Amino acid sequence: MSTRISRGQCNNCTCSPGLLSRTNRRSSLFAQKININRTNSGIGGSRAGSRKGSVFTIDPATLCLPEIKETNTSQRLEALRNKMKDHNLAVYIVPSEDQHQSEYVSAFDQKRSFISGFGGSAGVAVVTRDLLCMNDVPEGSAALSTDGRYFNQATNELDFNWILLKQGAKDQPTWEEWAVEQAIQLSLDSGSKANVGVDPRLISYKLYQKISGIVEKALEKHSNKKIQIELVAVTENLIGSIWEKFEPLPPRASSSRIKILDTKFTGEQVADKLNRVKQQTFKENVGGLVVTALDEIAWLLNLRGQDIEYNPVFFSFLVITKSNGTTLFIQKSRLTADILALLEANNIQVEPYESFYSRLSSISKDFSIANQSFLIPSNANWEVLRNLKCSFTQGLSPIEDLKSVKNATELLGAKIAHLKDGRALVRFFAWLEEQVVDRQELIDECAADDKLTEFRSQEENFVGLSFATISATGANGAVIHYKPTKGQCATINPLKIYLNDSGSQFLEGTTDTTRTIHFGKPTYEEIKRYTLVLKGNIALSTLKFPENTTGNLIDSIARQYLWKFGLDYGHGTSHGVGAYLNVHEGPIGIGPRPNAAAHALKPGQLISNEPGYYEDGEYGIRLENMMYIKDSGLSYNGRQFWDFETVTRVPFCRKLINVDMLDEEELAWLNAYHNTIWNELHETFDKNSYVYKWLRRETDQIVRHSHKLL
């Protein structure tokens, strides 16, 4: 239930119910809440409360809305273009990643968000400068490229200065192509060289090669014209140099505590992991490995940190050599005596984080003299290669490959973690139903998120969330990576679909679960599309497939039922998940992206199963379970077959299932899955509690109706 506060506890504003019209936004939100309250009657049937709908039952704290933060990109772009002029740049690329190529980055590294105003985790900003402009205010264009998960969010967040490049959409250029095309035109217009600049620490070497290839092809195509363009490294980050003109620059590195993760959770000692990595690395003349990915370092050393929100990692680099041992580049003051002892026991030296590139240069000079080479993982940044002074080979990091295959301890941890998370989610959905239906309380998306976090935090070994919760009612659910903001989010409407995509970090493992529910009477269309998504989820859950199968080959298994009706979803079907590490983990995936085609699925890998459907402006449907790959016991012509085991323990929404659309095998799987949830969870709840009765109802055996909807 929302907490009641007196007028005296409010933030000394004038937002009493009689004065809510002081801003249109507050008035609109208030009207929305009243409308939901009035139309709520009858939803709960005989269980509905007798609430009279007085406006004075609304929590006044939810009406004290903060002002929306406005990002003046006009002034920021002006400052950036002035810096571009100082560096003789026509185009400047602003990636989302940090120098470790992290998917989620610290506040200090959110430079693309700073310059564009777009807050999604994936995307690239490209800013141009008109080389002929003589005005006091420099001119140019700006584009933000992102994928289908963020089209709606980007459209809402970008101001008039920006155009949106929809990655993967028909007839849309890639951001790399757009950047080069702009440089070509700027060079043609000015008759001078148009440099395309980027911080070499923020793009991978593979991406540098890709852009260089596009530049080379463009020059060949326009060889009859006087065009000069070049991709150049700009070691001064231009966004960082202007940041403090507008707001305080967040600190570069965290001083948060780093901890040892006990082997009862990891299942393997550091020494054994190091030996396995060396066996895979030191072949032929390869005598060294550079490790820049933070989750790889954390996994290898059995250490966890808090430097990036939701990701238990810490800023560091690692260099492993055959002859000189292993060097960890990190702020030494952050390491406890126990950690230093662990590192010393494994012959791991410690050097300052800031000295990584210069030390890599000196180490690689010695390698060159000894005619040895480095293995540089595909996820290493361009600056690594700019400082490397010896030969190298590039490919999949052996640590990423080894880390993706969970040992028996880590798989058991995944089961334990999802059982805990399942209990928290069951408590949450039961609580939410009781609040919005029986008690007709007004619960907004953020309040729901807070309550779910409260339930999770009561579980043993809970560390935190694994990503920002997607708590979305109605049309917000159609925004694939929607993030509610306190004071600006919607009140959960029980007459509409509610989507919750959330996860936890437990010492035992990382969780990620999505459920879509309805508290009232769903429409025919909603039921049909939910059931199509469910059929796709079940199809992938029950699939058996031969070894050496890549994820792109089985992506259509989950999409086939939507495709039958000309429907689809704009994101991948699966991603790997870490063991108390990053919620998105390589190298595997199931979907249309290149990484899904590059690496075969292996037993022991933990992977999501999350088909969906999104109706813009109306609702979103996504059903996500976590599974691990295992040996099915079948083989053909000496080729083993794998299958999946689902570890998520949260029931699907009965109201949204059209049982007549399920065949016998699908129905049997669904009932068996719900029976497992009941057996593993019901004894942890009081038999007289609301949550116990909710779980009993939602996991009860589903039988066919006498009529068909289709």
531-590 residue pLDDT tens: 999 999 999 999 999 999 999 999 999 999 999 999 999 999 999 999 999 999 999 999
Fold of the domain built from segment(s) 408-699: Creatine Amidinohydrolase (3.90.230)
Continuous H helices in 222-355: 238-243, 263-266, 270-281, 294-301, 337-345
270-299 residue pLDDT tens: 999 999 999 999 998 999 999 999 999 999
Which pLDDT value is given to residue 13? 34
- The pTM (predicted TM-score) of the whole model is 0.88
468-502 residue pLDDT tens: 999 999 999 999 889 898 988 999 999 999 999 99
The class of domain 259-403 in CATH terms is: alpha beta
Residue 58 has pLDDT above 60, yes or no: no
> Confidence band (pLDDT; 50, 70, 90) for 252?
confident
Residue 22 has pLDDT above 50, yes or no: no
Question: Which has the closest alpha carbon to 84: 144, 124, 126, 145?
Answer: 126
> Confidence band (pLDDT; 50, 70, 90) for 418?
very high
Exposure of 576 in the CB half-sphere (CA atoms within 13 A): 29
Which pLDDT value is given to residue 28? 43
Which pLDDT value is given to residue 1? 37
> Confidence band (pLDDT; 50, 70, 90) for 48?
very low
Integer angstrom CA distances of residue 595 from 121, 590, 627: 18, 9, 19
Average pLDDT on 409-418 reads 98
Phi, psi for residue 500 in degrees, rounded to 5: -130, 115
User: What's the CA gap between 468 and 453, in Å, rounded?
Assistant: 11
> Confidence band (pLDDT; 50, 70, 90) for 253?
low
The CATH 3.90.230.10 domain(s) of the chain lie at 408-699
The CATH 3.40.350.10 domain(s) of the chain lie at 73-243, 259-403
Continuous H helices in 129-237: 151-157, 175-190, 205-221
334-351 residue pLDDT tens: 999 999 999 999 999 999
Q: What is the CATH number of domain 73-243?
A: 3.40.350.10
Which stretch of DSSP H or E encloses residue 470? strand 470-473
- Given a contact cutoff of 8 angstroms between Cβ atoms, the answer to whether 10 and 64 are in contact is yes
Question: Which has the closest alpha carbon to 463: 417, 504, 421?
Answer: 504
- Residue that the structure tokens 């250490």 belong to: 303
Which pLDDT value is given to residue 225? 77
580-595 residue pLDDT tens: 999 999 999 999 988 8
> Confidence band (pLDDT; 50, 70, 90) for 221?
confident
User: What's the CA gap between 111 and 202, in Å, rounded?
Assistant: 10
| DSSP type of residue 605 | B
User: What's the CA gap between 650 and 54, in Å, rounded?
Assistant: 35
pLDDT > 70 in the chain, percent: 89
